[in-house]
Amino acid sequence: MDIAFFGRPSTPLAGQRKPLPTVQINPGAVQTYPDIKRRLDGRYERVQLFRNRCGNLVPLGAADICVMDDYGFLLRVGEGERPWW
């Protein structure tokens, strides 16, 4: 019996398992991108963004309202509005 007749050699036959891929992708691990914008009142708005399946940047959670301290660090002072969805 010629296995190549039934397709690629890596195609499992009935009762056989498909070989595991060499690269394992963890769908639970999401890479986030911070986005910091200065508001007109002098405070900063920090939003966490991630890429969806289409590759678009989507906000993750609510925006944080921050102020800059004397040393140049952002301090969280409140929570901004959530996205409309």
Note whether 80 and 65 are within 8 A (CB).
Answer: yes
Q: Is residue 41 part of a domain?
A: yes
- SS3 at position 47: strand
Q: How many structural domains are present in the chain? A: 1
What range does the domain containing 54 cover? 31-85
pTM over 0.75: no
Cα separations (Å) of 46 from 53, 61, 72?
23, 11, 15
Q: Is residue 25 part of a domain?
A: no
Q: Is residue 5 part of a domain?
A: no
Residue 78: how many other CB atoms lie within 10 Å:
11
Q: Is residue 8 part of a domain?
A: no
The tens place of each residue's pLDDT in the chain, 85 residues long, gives 565 666 555 666 677 777 776 665 665 667 888 999 999 999 999 999 888 878 888 888 889 999 999 999 999 999 987 766 5
Q: What are phi and psi of 4, to 5 degrees?
A: -60, -20
**Structure tokens, 49:** 């963004």
Q: Is residue 47 part of a domain?
A: yes
